[in-house]
């Protein structure tokens, strides 16, 4: 409608002028307008919340990287223990309460176990032992450690707040997905979580806007063509990342067919060339995109059909 408004004289923006432009467009160009129903409102709200969730993801990554950098600067051994689990509530609680190696050592094992057990009942004692083992590996106090002791708790609190916001948004996204008729179709496929479902619905909807599956294979290489080719249609590319992200190691174990296709020998894949990890993931992403496209188009649930082993 903003582009249509440029065709009319005047630059003022008033309700009366907007109403006239919309009415005139409905009279002369009805194909430019579409009806808004409940499903469109759900998609619009999902898109807004998912966009904010993307912003929070970027902020969480930024704060986590800052924490990684500070811990590496003042105590590399401690960072090797805490770094892989930096976004765990127990680790964030520890850093928020005790921001330096000296403060952690002064607190003692028993106090730390008592502090971390509510957040991590199974790993509290092991984590505390690993922390004190790391503390013993470094006897030198690096300049700037005291300044970092003021910054680390603040960063840990900020990261906790961002992660809590993401949890609230995930709850709201799940509520909106429950009201969408295609949500149950998507969740029937293993590896498609809450945020992936939201992204697929936002980008692809019921797949009616796509003449072919969203992820298209690249053009085969030949002596007359460049080695890298874009997908057949740029309009088909938005959901590509979602189908690829749902193929990762975290989802493959939950989907035996995907895991077999990903970890199996080259003969079980599309071609012997698809023997690397990245190529196997791309083949799997294209396969999943084809299946998702058919599921959305037909409104049918995912059904695993075992195939005969390739010899």
Query: What is the tens place of the pLDDT at every residue in 210-231?
Result: 555 554 444 444 444 444 444 4
- Position 44 scores a pLDDT of 82
pLDDT digits (tens, 9 = 90+) for 194-205: 787 777 777 766
The neighbour count for residue 193, using CB atoms within 10 Å, is 15
Count of alpha carbons within 13 angstroms of residue 191, beta-carbon side: 24
When mean pLDDT is compared across 37-46, 146-155, 215-224, 279-288, the lowest value belongs to 215-224
pLDDT, one tens digit per residue, over 56-74 is: 999 999 999 999 999 999 9
Residues 6+ apart with CB under 8 A from 145: 74, 75, 100, 101, 102
Are 204 and 214 contacting, i.e. CB atoms less than 8 angstroms apart? yes
Percent of the chain whose predicted confidence (pLDDT) is above 70: 71
In the numeric block, the tokens 């959305």 are attached to 296
Reply yes or no on whether the pLDDT at 36 is more than 70.
no
Taking 80 as the threshold, does the pLDDT of residue 40 lie above it? Answer: no
Using only the alpha carbons of the chain, give its radius of gyration: 26
- 104-108, 153-157, 254-258: the lowest-pLDDT one: 254-258
The mean pLDDT value for 73-102 works out to 93
Residues forming a β-bridge with 222: 225
pLDDT of residue 225: 43
Range name among 56-60, 78-82, 108-112, 283-287 with the lowest pLDDT average = 283-287
**Weakest-pLDDT range from 8-12, 111-115, 159-163:** 8-12
- Domain range 38-176, CATH architecture: Orthogonal Bundle (1.10)
Cα separation, 309 vs 239, whole angstroms = 30
Listed range (138-152, 203-217, 218-232, 279-293) with the worst mean pLDDT:
218-232
Q: What are phi and psi of 88, to 5 degrees?
A: -75, 140
Q: Per-residue confidence at 94, pLDDT binned at 50, 70, 90?
A: very high
Phi/psi of residue 177, each to 5°?
-65, -35
Domain boundaries of the chain, sorted by first residue: 2-32, 38-176, 251-304
- Tens digit of pLDDT for each residue in 260-272? 555 554 444 444 4
What's the mean per-residue pLDDT of the chain? Answer: 76
The pLDDT of 127-153, averaged and rounded, is: 91
- β-pair partners for 225: 222
C-alpha 299: how far from its chain's center? Answer: 25
Residues in Cβ contact with 175 at an 8 Å cutoff, skipping those fewer than 6 apart: none
As a whole number of angstroms, the distance between CA 244 and CA 252 comes to 11
Name the region of 213 (left: φ>0; alpha: ψ -120 to 50; beta: rest). beta
Average pLDDT over residues 94-109: 93
Distance set, CA 124 to CA 127, 130, 153 (Å): 5, 10, 20
Q: Percent of the chain, pLDDT > 90?
A: 33
Q: 157: alpha, beta or left, given left = phi > 0 and alpha = psi -120 to 50? A: alpha
The most distant pair of C-alpha atoms in the chain lies apart, rounded to whole Å, by 80
**pTM of the model as a whole:** 0.63
pLDDT, residue 236, reads: 41
Model confidence at 118: pLDDT above 60: yes
Torsion angle of the four alpha carbons 174, 180, 184, 186, in this order, in degrees rounded to the nearest 10: -90
DSSP 203-248: HHTTTTT-SS-SSPPPPPPBTTB-S----S-GGG-TTHHHHHHTTS
> What's the pLDDT band for 10 if we cut at 50, 70, 90?
confident
pLDDT value, residue 115: 94
**Residue 29 binned pLDDT confidence (cut-offs 50, 70, 90):** confident
């Amino acid at each position: 409608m903003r582009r249509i408004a440029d065709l009319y004289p005047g630059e003022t923006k008033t309700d009366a002028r907007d109403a006239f432009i919309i009415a005139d467009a409905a009279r002369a160009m009805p194909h430019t307008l579409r009806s808004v129903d409940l499903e469109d409102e759900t998609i619009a709200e999902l898109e807004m919340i998912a966009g904010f969730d993307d912003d929070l993801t970027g902020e969480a990554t930024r704060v986590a990287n800052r924490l990684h950098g500070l811990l590496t600067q003042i105590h590399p051994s401690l960072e090797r223990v805490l770094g892989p689990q930096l976004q765990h509530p127990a680790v964030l609680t520890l850093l928020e309460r005790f921001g330096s190696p000296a403060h952690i050592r002064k607190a003692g094992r028993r106090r730390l176990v008592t502090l971390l057990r509510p957040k991590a009942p199974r790993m509290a004692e092991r984590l505390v032992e690993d922390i004190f083992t790391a503390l013993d590996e470094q006897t030198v106090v690096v300049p700037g450690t005291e300044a970092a002791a003021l910054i680390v708790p603040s960063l840990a609190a900020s990261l906790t707040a961002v992660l809590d916001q993401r949890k609230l948004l995930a709850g709201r996204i799940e509520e909106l997905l429950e009201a969408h008729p295609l949500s149950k179709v998507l969740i029937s496929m293993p590896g498609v979580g809450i945020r992936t479902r939201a992204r697929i619905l936002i980008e692809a909807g019921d797949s009616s806007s796509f003449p072919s599956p969203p992820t298209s294979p690249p053009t085969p290489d030949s002596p007359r063509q460049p080695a890298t080719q874009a997908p057949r249609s740029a309009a088909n590319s938005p959901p590509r990342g979602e189908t690829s992200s749902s193929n990762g190691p975290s989802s493959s174990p939950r989907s035996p067919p995907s895991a077999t296709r990903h970890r199996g020998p080259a003969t079980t894949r599309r071609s012997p060339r698809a023997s690397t990890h990245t190529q196997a993931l791309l083949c799997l992403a294209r396969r999943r995109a084809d299946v998702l496209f058919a599921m959305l188009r037909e409104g049918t649930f995912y059904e695993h059909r075992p195939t005969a082993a390739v010899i």
